[in-house]
Amino acid sequence: MTTQHRRRATWGLAGLLAVASGAAFAQGAVAPEYRWLTFAVFAAIIGVTMYVTYLAAKRVKSASDFYTAGGGVTGLQNGWAIAGDYLSAASFLGIAGLISQYGYDGFMYSVGWLVAYITVLLLIAEPCRNIGKYTLPDILAYRNNPKAMRIVGALSVITVSTFYLTAQMVGGGVLVKTLIGIDYEYSVIAVGVLMLSYVLFGGMVATTWVQIIKAILLVAASLILVMLVWTPYGFSLPGFLGDVVADPKVQARVAALIGDPAKNMSAAELGQRFLEPGLYFKNPIDQISLGMALVFGTAGLPHILMRFFTVPTAQQARKSVVWAMAIIGGFYVLTLFLGFGAAKHVGPQAIAAVDAGGNMAGPLLAQYLGGGPESFLGNFMLAFVSAVAFATIVAVVAGLVLAAASAIAHDLYVGVYHGGDVVPPQQQVRAARIATVIVGAMAITIGIAAKGQNVAHLVALAFAVAASANFPCVLLTLYWKKCSTGGIVLGMIVGTLTAVFLTLVSPNVTYPKAVREAAQKVFDGEAAKRGAIEAALASGDAVAIAKANTELAALDKAVKKAKDDVAKVAGKETSLLGLEKPLFTLKNPGIISIPLGFLAVLLGSLLFPDRRSLAMWPEVYARQNTGILVSKAASH
Amino acid sequence: MANAPDIDWNAVIADPRFQALHRRKQGFLTGLMIFSVVFYFLLPIGAAYFQDLFKTKVWGVVNFGLLFALGQFVVAWLVAFYYSRRAGAEFDQAAAEIAASYEKKGRG
């Protein structure tokens, strides 16, 4: 690290502290008097990761160091880093939240995220390591027309990364606000500046270590919580779950979810229903469509693919996926206990009261297990989990920004603009750093601009595009002799456009007319409900009055929400694309767009065969299977 | 990793050792991949269309559906373990042999 770099790093850190100290505070889950605890824990995490970045920055001399840590990461380290890259706040807090709110369906949701790695392990990781260099377009450009591949490949990398990044920035901003109470804009800037200081100075070396440290913290925090939750039951699964379903809060939640049929069910039956499917997922086809996007999309995520270029050999790539599967799968099994534990101890209603999506299940469980909101230990544990959540967002964003920046600097600038001519290493690293700043600034800007937008479906869309465009292109270029430049270009275009188009005409976007109709129903039913509640309040029966008060609060909330919804769509008649109602009824486009992506590569390749793609096939075929020359290339 | 014009790639893929490796690997991977995907999609399909089975209590309050979902994790791990053992014991050695003989030839 040169003095100049060190000075710049110091400025970055100073800027971050200025942002943190100048931030306006709102109400957060962490009580104001314990906020210093969160900052102390988080400062410790920042301190360690900054020191690692400082050490890493000395080692970043070439483009290879910046993009792939010089290929010097071990399989075990890479396994942890993949887990750190993959376990976003959505899976850390979101899945535990989903389980706490909907029981079984939340757990079922987590399975696809692990099974996805079987596709990565069996079909993608090793061949990519054998023929790729830094980025996803490298793989495509090996046998097909390099310029065309770098353009479509880079565009796809940027598209997928931007969708994912937007979801992370907005979700991260909201989470940090909910947890610690820092204003949304400052949260986004803090995440962005911190991430930039890792990536900019430490490149892939620092990013890898940030991901490893975060993954270890995440697993350690979850393990401690699960130990505390499960030990009282002597590690008996039926004992623990039996207590969960016997809990009145859980039974009340199920009754609220299923409505009328609940009247004929006993308390025990209601509780048991929490362990049965169908409380969250209503449309099995939609769920299969989502499953397809997960299982095939992970293998097409640019920031995950990039991780396989950081290890020296195919064997290490394989080892890293196996480790990643052990860590990620183990983490989801722990999540089962966190989610059900939070439902029992904190209660689904109390969790939803802090955050409607249930995201606070894990942090609130930590607080409860430490001794509750009044105790020091409880607040310490909440502060710790909040700090880990913050680190989680930063680590995932760093991986995404690195992937998008590499597509701009390595593929577009060096590959297309310089036509693959030899660009001096110094200049390549500078290009990568400039691209990083551009992508980082873009991420912060989008994050602030998208405030208040519902971006949850953007992660599913990123997976859908990766599964429909990147996955068929990478798979067929590796395994199919007749695959050609034309096929890849067509596949990328068709896969991306169908996935995006189907999402834009799906129930994910807002349809003003439908919103008004739904709100009208609430308004129409309001008078009758109020009448019934007033009658109950006047009855004098304590149980009925308590019940009526809960109903009254719920009704007021529903009416307020309906009014807000109507206000949001005021003056609008149709959706973004001018539709009154969804054209495509599924929320997830995968079941249509993935086969179309494959079909486009097949047809494009057969219609537009090209000589280079065919001539290079023996080399790709031989290399991806045997790793010829890889070990030698890695050793110098 | 510059192109290596001194290796005759057509000779590599025509090599009987390469073809034998490729055949074994292809069959093994295809089979394992199809099994994994089919097994995974049994979960959403079962949860939607075989609810009576999924709701059947088998271990205290723990029902078949919950065990099946947990089983998905175990099966995914077993697939990964089985693949990496077979690849480490068999494919890696064959690939290394082929690579070594051609890398030497290329240089000489």
Statement: residue B78 has pLDDT above 70: yes
Q: Residue with structure tokens 């195919």?
A: A314
B38 interaction partners in chain A (CB closer than 8 Å)? none
Contacting B residues, span 60-89, partner chain A, CB-CB under 8 Å: 60-63, 65-66, 69-70, 72-73, 76-77, 79-81, 83-84, 87-88
What is chain A's mean pLDDT, rounded?
89
Contacts of B81 in chain A (CB under 8 A): 322
A278 touches chain B (CB under 8 A): yes
* pLDDT level of residue A27 (50, 70, 90 thresholds): low
Q: Among B1, B13, B69, whose Cβ lies nearest the Cβ of A622?
A: B13
Q: Report the pLDDT value the prediction gives residue B106, as an integer from 0 to 100.
A: 54
Q: Which residue does chain A place closest to B28, by CA atoms?
A: A122
Query: What are the pLDDT digits (tens) for A287-315?
Result: 999 999 999 999 999 999 999 999 999 99
Chain B residues with CB-CB distance to A247 below 8 A: none
* Helix (DSSP H) and strand (DSSP E) numbers for chain B: 5, 2
Decide the pairing of beta strands B57-59 and B62-63.
antiparallel
Higher pLDDT, B64 or A514: B64
- Integer angstrom CA distances of residue A552 from A542, A563, A565: 15, 16, 20
pLDDT at B3: 47
Task: Give the pLDDT confidence score for residue A481 in this predicted structure.
Answer: 95
Phi/psi of residue A578, nearest 5 degrees:
75, 30
Domain residue ranges of chain A, discontinuous segments joined by +: 3-511+574-635, 520-568
CA B62, A113, A460, A284: dihedral to nearest 10 degrees? Answer: -40
Q: A332 falls in which pLDDT band (50, 70, 90)?
A: very high
State how far the Cα of A590 lies from the Cα of A74, in Å rounded to an integer.
34
pLDDT category of residue A515 using cuts at 50, 70 and 90 = confident
A348-356 average pLDDT score: 88
H or E stretch covering A98: helix A95-102
pLDDT at A26: 56
The pTM (predicted TM-score) of the whole model is: 0.90
Average pLDDT, stretch B40-56?
A: 95
Q: Is A107 at the interface with chain B, CB within 8 A?
A: yes
State the pLDDT confidence band at A635, using cuts at 50, 70 and 90: very low
Portion 13-32 of B in contact with A at CB < 8 A: 13, 18, 21-22, 25, 29, 32
Tell me whether residues B60 and A242 touch, CB distance under 8 A: yes
Of B21, B54, B103, the CB nearest to A277: B54
In the predicted model, what is the mean pLDDT of residues A51-77?
A: 89
Q: Which of A239, A242, A291 has its CB closest to that of B41?
A: A291
For residue A30, what pLDDT is reported?
78
Report the chain A residue with the minimal C-alpha distance to residue B84: A318
Read off the pLDDT of residues A411-425 as tens digits, 9 standing for 90 and up.
Answer: 999 989 988 778 888
Angle between helices B16-49 and B92-107 (to 10 degrees): 140
Q: Across the interface, do B44 and A325 touch by the CB < 8 Å criterion?
A: no
Rounded Cα distance, A221 and A593, in Å: 38
Instruction: Give the range among A37-41, A323-327, A513-517 with minimum mean pLDDT.
Output: A37-41
Q: Is A312 helix (H, G, I), strand (E, B) or coil?
A: coil
Task: Give contacts of A70 with chain B, Cβ < 8 Å.
Answer: none
The answer, yes or no, to whether residue A235 has pLDDT greater than 50, is: yes
Of B13, B66, B80, the CB nearest to A275: B66
A140 touches chain B (CB under 8 A): no
Residue A28's pLDDT is 73
On the question of pLDDT at A137 being above 50, the answer is yes
Domains of chain B, by residue range, sit at: 18-103
- Among A278, A321, A632, whose Cβ lies nearest the Cβ of B51? A278
- Using pLDDT thresholds of 50, 70 and 90, give the confidence band for residue A20: very low
Does position A1 have pLDDT exceeding 50, yes or no?
no
Tell me what the mean pLDDT of segment A174-186 comes to: 85
Report the alpha-carbon distance of residue A562 to residue A556 in Å, rounded: 10
Q: Which two tokens mark A8?
A: 């710049």
Q: Test B40 with A295 for CB contact under 8 angstroms.
A: yes
Q: What is the mean pLDDT of residues A523-530?
A: 88
What was the pLDDT predicted at A19? Answer: 47
Please check the confidence at residue A636 and state whether its pLDDT lies above 70.
no
Of B12, B33, B76, the CB nearest to A329: B76
Please say if the pLDDT value at position A632 is more than 60: no
Residue A480 confidence (pLDDT) above 60: yes
The A residues from 505 to 544 touching B (CB cutoff 8 Å) are none
| pLDDT band of A538, cuts 50, 70, 90 | confident
**Segment A490-506, tens digit of pLDDT:** 999 999 999 999 999 98
Map tokens 């991260």 to a residue: A172
Which one has a higher pLDDT value, A551 or A445?
A: A445
Q: Residue A18 above 50 pLDDT?
A: no
Nearest to A108 among B47, B92, B103 (CB): B47
Which of A628, A632, A635 best tests the B interface by mutation, with the highest count of B CBs <10 A? Answer: A628
Is residue A623 a contact partner of residue A629, using CB atoms and an 8 Å limit? yes
> Is residue A392 classed as helix, strand or coil in its secondary structure?
helix
Cβ atoms of A491 and A473 closer than 8 Å? yes
Within 10 angstroms of residue A23's Cβ, the number of other Cβ atoms is 18
What would the mean pLDDT of A81-106 be, rounded to a whole number? 91
CA distance A510 to A506: 9
Superfamily of domain A3-511+574-635: Sodium/glucose cotransporter (1.20.1730.10)
Is the pLDDT at A202 greater than 60? The verdict is yes
Beta bridge partners of A594: none
Mean pLDDT of the A113-119 span: 96
Percent of chain B with pLDDT over 70: 92
* Mean pLDDT, chain B, integer: 90
Quick one: pLDDT at residue A4? 54
